[in-house]
Chain A
């Protein structure tokens, strides 16, 4: 075995190391393998000098036949599997031999059986015969980390310590999630309130503040909030002011009644420069007439008719109401948007408060403030600039 090691594919990095192996300086620093082998043979048989240092293996030119002997035995997956099968079969045989039930034969039973069948008087416990599962006998090995094309399977392979870095990655992810969760829990207490504004703080302290001072203070309070129980502190609550919890500023029109007794409700809507007024009747079959014309003829484009249908469809009241609208100004799309807003507002009288809130969150009750942006001097349009010329 020593001979095999000496015939190893070693190229020495420096002459400093050589003195340990060239005992008595007899053999020169020839780096050919033939010389090495001869030296090894001499050392083995000739001197009897004990070399205590283990030979350091460094990379170098190798011949095929030495590499296989050198590398410590790699157990293939098939080999391990075969060993496991043999172990299981052997376990059953052993159970049969001992007269026990093979299905419920545990590792302790195996140990007792082996101690009984092969009594050993050796003092060294590890030298006695054992029969354990191959997983406990053969050391755990890493499978080949790359596929046939040479590409590694794990994305962190080139870090050198893929399992460690992936573990760190997962742990950090969990940390971030936990922090986020905690932030959310904190934020729950803060939902209905806001920080006091600079003017309010100035009033409280009776001192003039700059914007940066105020911003710094708010940042510090936010940092305090990130701590556990930071939000409930009385100190922090002093600087919070409540805001209107629900945007319930929606004016709900009162219902009016016509001659037959059917309830109806009127409201207005605007979009760009189009103004619309809608009257929605409680009972009907889904007919909508605009400026006296049926909606199918007034809006030949599908998109506009979809806009008219939107509030009704959202509340599941598609064929249940009749509507009469008047609209003026704007273009095709803005008229449709104005009517949509008017219809949504009119429908508020017929539905519950919760549904009104749903409509608001769906954006049906907000008047669209977008208008055409003016053209600016020095530019071709509102945003488009003139073609840039280098000279």
Chain B
């Protein structure tokens, strides 16, 4: 967690772009301004357990980008099976981590997460991305309707197909969802890099979480914009998911276009310095 300071006298605060979360610690994404400081602080406190990162609180300066939890709070481990594992099965690392967690302070579990078997992190993330204006109830109902629609379509196909084809038709909406998103993930992306006064589109390998994000974002944008006026979101989304599952459709095409652009610009690959 990085701490940025701001004087109360300044009328117009410094606007910052980009997300503040210090999630760039292990990533190959271009280092944003405050990331190196955060990295140093984290690397320290691995060994200096329990020591609060010393941040001088100077009078007249308030901190922005702060959290109600202190920097020493760790994220909770919600998976039930993690705790039920017998001691013999644990590796050295896991034992060490368990010992470590006994001293650490843990944050409260978020309201959207439970230990239920029906919970899927990918589905939750997708629901959050679909949400507008904080209307989680609507987003979640749309998600369930989408999965139901996918299941219905697949069952119709199943009942209409012959015995051999029935074995190949996938009916579980969750597997279809996961596979469809995996098919939409790009492997390589383009990043504008300033060189000699011009912005060049440089091909860059994408980290995993960026890929997943792009796949979901493209899917949602595609379903919101390119649909018939009267068509509802679940209908359109289920249709797009099924097409992506079979490696067809506009989202997969967008991914392939991205790959082609990267291939075309491969001469600029040496502009990348990370």
Question: B-contacting residues of A (Cβ < 8 Å)?
Answer: 183-184, 186-188, 190-195, 197-198, 211, 215, 218, 222, 225, 243-247, 301-303, 306-307, 309-310, 313-314, 333, 336-337, 341, 357-358, 360-364, 366-371, 378-379, 385, 388
Closest B-chain residue to A363, C-beta based?
B76
Alpha-carbon gap, A368 to B109, bound state (A): 8
Interfacial residues, chain B to chain A (CB-CB below 8 A): 11-13, 15, 44, 46-51, 54, 56, 68-69, 75-78, 80, 83, 92-93, 96, 99-109, 111-112, 114-116, 136-137, 140
- Name which residue of chain B comes closest to A196, CB basis: B51
Which residues from chain B contact A191 at a C-beta distance below 8 Å?
Answer: 49, 99-100, 103
Summed over the interface, the residue pairs from A and B with CB atoms below 8 Å come to a total of 117
Q: How far is the CB of A193 from chain B (nearest CB, A)?
A: 8
Measured CB to CB, the closest approach of chain A to B261, in angstroms, equals 18
Residues of A near B108 (CB, < 8 A) are: 341, 363-364, 366-369
Contacts of B75 in A (CB 8 A): 363
The answer to whether A313 touches B115 (Cβ under 8 A) is yes
> Are B50 and A194 in contact (CB-based, < 8 A)?
yes
| B contact patch SS | loop
Q: Are A360 and B106 in contact (CB under 8 A)?
A: yes
Instruction: State whether A245 touches B103 (Cβ < 8 A).
Output: yes
Interchain nearest-CB distance for B265 vs A (Å): 16
Question: A366 contacts which chain B residues (CB < 8 A)?
Answer: 76, 105-108
- Which chain B residues lie closer than 8 Å to A364 at the CB level? 108-109
- A378 near B13: Cβ-Cβ < 8 Å: yes
Contact yes or no, A363 B68, CB < 8 A:
no
In this complex, the member of B13, B15, B51, B114 whose beta carbon has the largest number of chain A beta carbons within 10 angstroms is B114
When C-beta atoms are compared, the residue in chain B nearest to A308 turns out to be: B114
A313-B99 contact given A360-B106, A362-B77, CB 8 Å threshold: no
User: Shortest CB–CB separation between residue A191 and chain B, in angstroms?
Assistant: 5
Are A358 and B83 within 8 A (Cβ)? Answer: yes
Across the interface, name the chain B residue whose C-beta is closest to A369.
B68
Q: Which of A211, A222, A310, A369 contacts B56 (CB 8 A)?
A: A211
Q: Cβ of A195 and Cβ of B111 under 8 Å apart?
A: no
Cα(A362)–Cα(B103), bound, Å: 14
Contact partners of B115 in chain A: CB under 8 A: 310, 313-314, 362
Using A191-B49, A215-B54 as known contacts, say yes or no to A361 and B101 having CB atoms under 8 A apart: yes
Q: How far is the CA of A361 from the CA of B92 in the complex (A)?
A: 19
Q: 15 A-B residue contacts at CB 8 Å?
A: A184-B96, A187-B96, A245-B103, A247-B103, A313-B80, A313-B114, A314-B115, A333-B111, A361-B106, A362-B76, A362-B109, A364-B108, A366-B107, A366-B108, A371-B68
Other A-B pairs, 19, CB within 8 Å; known A246-B102, A313-B115, A362-B83: A184-B96, A188-B96, A191-B103, A193-B49, A195-B48, A215-B54, A302-B140, A306-B114, A310-B115, A336-B111, A358-B83, A361-B77, A361-B101, A362-B76, A362-B109, A363-B107, A363-B109, A366-B108, A378-B11
Across the A-B interface, the 7 shortest Cβ-Cβ residue pairs:
A363-B76, A363-B109, A368-B108, A194-B50, A366-B108, A369-B68, A358-B83
Interchain CA distance A364-B48 in the complex, whole Å: 26
Residue of A195, A362, A385 with most chain B CB atoms under a 10 A cut-off: A362
Cα distance A188–B105 when bound, in Å?
18
A340 to B111: give the CA distance in the assembly, Å. 10
Asked if A303 contacts B112 (CB within 8 A), the reply is: yes
Q: Given A307-B111, A371-B68, A190–B96 Cβ distance below 8 Å?
A: no
Contact partner, A190, options B13, B47, B140, Cβ 8 Å: B47
